[in-house]
Amino acid sequence: MKWTGMIRKKTRNRGRKTRHVLHARLSAKGQAREFSRRVGIFLCLAGSLATAALVTSVGMDVILGKLLYSNPDFTLRRFQVEQQGKMGKGELVAASGVRIGQNLLRIDLEDVKQSIQRLPNIASVRVERRLPDTLFLAVEERRPVALICPTPSAGTQLAQSTYYIDARGFVLKPKPGEKLMSLPIIRGISADEVVEGERTNNADLKSALLFLKVAPLAPVRDGLDCSVILVEGPGRFLISTPRGGKIRFRSGYLEEQLDRLGVIFDYAESKGRIVHTVDLTPERNVPVTFTN
């Protein structure tokens, strides 16, 4: 009986050991399968990404070409032009360099903008695609504030006797046969200083433009005739009064000079006199003459 019990205990112990070993082996196999599964997923994902990258680098142009760049739905069929000025739609469209029938998505909007801005009369341009078939152009032309009648050099004759100029100093050539706008005239500027399509660097001309901006806002505006500004030389210019008087300004400190002129006009009115000449170029002891 004792031997039988011992044999049974040994048998049970062997069974337990066998089960532990078997369980360990099964666990190892499960872990191996899980590892293999994860590796397989990683490899599949990596392959998918590699395939996508290959398609992107090699085939994207083909895909876009068929869907967008060769799609007849995006053919340019019309221009929509919004403008502020006198230029015609045809002139602006021609300057854009774009033609009906081009693919709207292939048009470089920045190139179109720069092409139109090369026109001397253009101040600003906005270009937009309006899908599926329209190119939109918003154009603002320069607005002249004065006419320039330049002085020719000795022994020369001017091909162009009159130009427009805008508030920023851009010189514009009138169109052939155009009736000139009624604007203040600036005289006394050398023809060498007036270049069509370019912004002036002449300090006296800039000062004259500034005067045209600030004088209409000054209290003495009714005592000034700004129809003609004569640039007499470096740093000074001359204008008239409605009664034929002459007022000489220096190029700088215009607002201060207008204030000083206002004091002079007030004094003349209080005395019942009319200002004939004023020379505002000295900083002190301003020469003044009166009539009556």
Chain segment 164-180, per-residue pLDDT in tens: 999 999 999 998 888 99
Do 191 and 202 meet the contact criterion of CB atoms below 8 Å apart? no
Average pLDDT over residues 202-211: 95
pLDDT, residue 277, reads 97
The fraction of the chain above a pLDDT of 70, given in percent, is: 77
**pTM (whole model) above 0.75:** no
Q: How confident is the model at residue 2 (pLDDT cuts 50, 70, 90)?
A: very low
pLDDT, residue 84, reads 80
Q: How confident is the model at residue 187 (pLDDT cuts 50, 70, 90)?
A: very high
* Fold topology of 144-291: Rossmann fold (3.40.50)
Highest mean pLDDT of the ranges 5-19, 39-53, 246-260: 246-260
Chain segment 231-243, per-residue pLDDT in tens: 998 999 999 999 9
With 60 as the cut, is the pLDDT of residue 24 above it?
A: no
Q: In what order do the strands lie in the sheet with 122-130?
A: 78-84, 134-141, 122-130
The dihedral of CA 167, 94, 87, 197: what is its sign? positive
pLDDT, residue 73, reads 85
The Cα 28–Cα 82 span in angstroms is 77
Chain segment 31-60, per-residue pLDDT in tens: 546 545 554 554 455 556 555 555 555 566
Chain segment 63-111, per-residue pLDDT in tens: 666 667 778 888 999 999 998 888 889 999 999 999 999 999 999 999 9
Do 209 and 167 meet the contact criterion of CB atoms below 8 Å apart? yes
Domain 72-141 CATH assignment equals 1.25.40.420:
no
State yes or no: cis peptide before 132, omega within 30 of 0.
Answer: yes
Contacts of 172 (CB under 8 A, 6+ apart): 120, 121, 142, 144, 163, 164, 165, 166, 196, 197
With 50 as the cut, is the pLDDT of residue 4 above it?
A: no
Q: How confident is the model at residue 224 (pLDDT cuts 50, 70, 90)?
A: very high
Q: How confident is the model at residue 153 (pLDDT cuts 50, 70, 90)?
A: confident
pLDDT, residue 26, reads 43
The Cα 137–Cα 49 span in angstroms is 43
pLDDT, residue 1, reads 46
The Cα 222–Cα 226 span in angstroms is 10
Chain segment 119-150, per-residue pLDDT in tens: 989 999 999 999 999 999 999 999 999 999 99
The Cα 122–Cα 272 span in angstroms is 50
With 80 as the cut, is the pLDDT of residue 197 above it?
A: yes
Buried b / exposed e along 46-82 (16+ C-beta atoms within 10 A): eeeeeeeeeeeeeeeeeeeeeeeeeeeebebeebebe
According to DSSP, residue 67 is labeled: I
Q: Can you give the residue ranges of every domain in the chain?
A: 1-44, 72-141, 144-291
Contacts of 192 (CB under 8 A, 6+ apart): 153
pLDDT top residue among 264 and 46? 264
Contacts of 142 (CB under 8 A, 6+ apart): 85, 120, 121, 122, 123, 166, 168, 170, 172
Q: How confident is the model at residue 23 (pLDDT cuts 50, 70, 90)?
A: very low
